[in-house]
Structures are given as structure tokens and as C-alpha cells.
Amino acid sequence: MNQKEFSQTADQHSSSLHSHAMRFTRDEDEAKDLVQETLLKGIRFCHNFDEGTNIKGWLYVIMRNTFINNYRKDQKRTDLITTEEEISNAYLLKSSSRNDSESKFVMGDIEKALKSIPAAYSIPFQRYFEGYKYHEIAEQLNIPLGTVKTHIHQARIELKKYLKNYRGNYHL
């Protein structure tokens, strides 16, 4: 069967191919594109079609494979776009891993900041940072619970002033 004969035979199945494409795409325009792509591939590869077999079934297989391949391409494109967005400037700070030297500088600055505030503020803050509860800190330091909360709050204020260069990058 030559391309012209195949094209005429395949064209007889275009309406059933269209309804089949609608089940895949659920969109009129996409279904038309899928049918057109299926028929073009069928005509292009008509030499692979065995005469006497079910041409409609053969075209359905082409359509299904075309739909699946297009879907995979779209998924890869979507994944690539998402990946590119994640490495844009807005996401770099959140997604990048920090190197050891930067971490050492940050930790050094935090230690300096803690040393710059009064011990009455830094000790409760350090204990809170280590995971102790307010009431546990109050018991350990033998000071009232309200005082512990105030000292931790004051420590945060002082640390924020000292570490203002890191604002937006880290949370105290």
C-alpha cells in the first residue's frame, strides 16, 4: 500500500480517532493536534504497516504512544522549568548549601555577639537555645520565670542588633 492509498484509508478513521483522542486529552484543540500527528506518523511509516491487519488498531497504538511521549516531554519540560526557577536568585540562598568557612565566620560572629551582651541575658538565652524550657532555666538559675522570659527577650534584641548583617538569612 502506497502513501496515497494509506492516507485515504486512514482518513476514513479520523472521526473515531478524534473521539479516542478526546479521551486522552479532554481538550478539543489538543485532540485535533493529536489526531493530526497520529495520521502524519501513520502516513510517514505506512511501509511498516502489514496489509490485511487492522489499520484502525495500528493507528490507535500510534496515537497512544504519541500521547505518552508528548506527556513525558511535557513533564521533563515542567521539571526543568521548576529546577531553573529553584536556582534563580530568589531561591539560591534558601536552597544552597553553605560551605564550612562561611559557617565558621557565622559561628564566630554569634559567639562574639553572645559575649557582648550581659551574662544575665546570654546564659538564659543559651540554655533556651540548647532546648531547655523556660521553667527549667528558672529552676537551674534560681530566678523567677518572668525574669527568664524577659532576659531571653532582651538577649534576642541585643543579638539582632549585633548580627544585623545577617538579617533575612538567619532567624534568631
Rounded to whole angstroms, the maximal C-alpha distance in the chain is: 97
CB 145 within 8 A of CB 128: no
CATH number at residue 15: 1.10.1740.10
Q: Which of 161, 135, 159 is nearest to 149 (CA)?
A: 135
Residue span of the structural domain in which 124 resides: 98-166
| 128, part of any domain | yes
What local confidence, expressed as pLDDT, does residue 102 receive? 61
Last residue of a domain, one of 43, 59, 86: 86
- CB-side exposure of 24: number of CA atoms within 13 Å? 26
Last residue of a domain, one of 86, 114, 134: 86
Q: Which residues neighbour 43 within 8 Å (Cβ) at sequence distance 6 or greater? A: 3, 6, 7, 10
Rounded Cα–Cα distance for residues 172 and 159 (Å): 8
What local confidence, expressed as pLDDT, does residue 139 receive? 92
Q: Which of 70, 16, 23 is nearest to 39 (CA)?
A: 16
Count: domains in the chain: 2
What local confidence, expressed as pLDDT, does residue 77 receive? 75
pTM, rounded to two decimals: 0.46
The residue ranges of the chain whose pLDDT is under 70 are: 79-106, 165-172
What local confidence, expressed as pLDDT, does residue 65 receive? 92
What local confidence, expressed as pLDDT, does residue 172 receive? 47
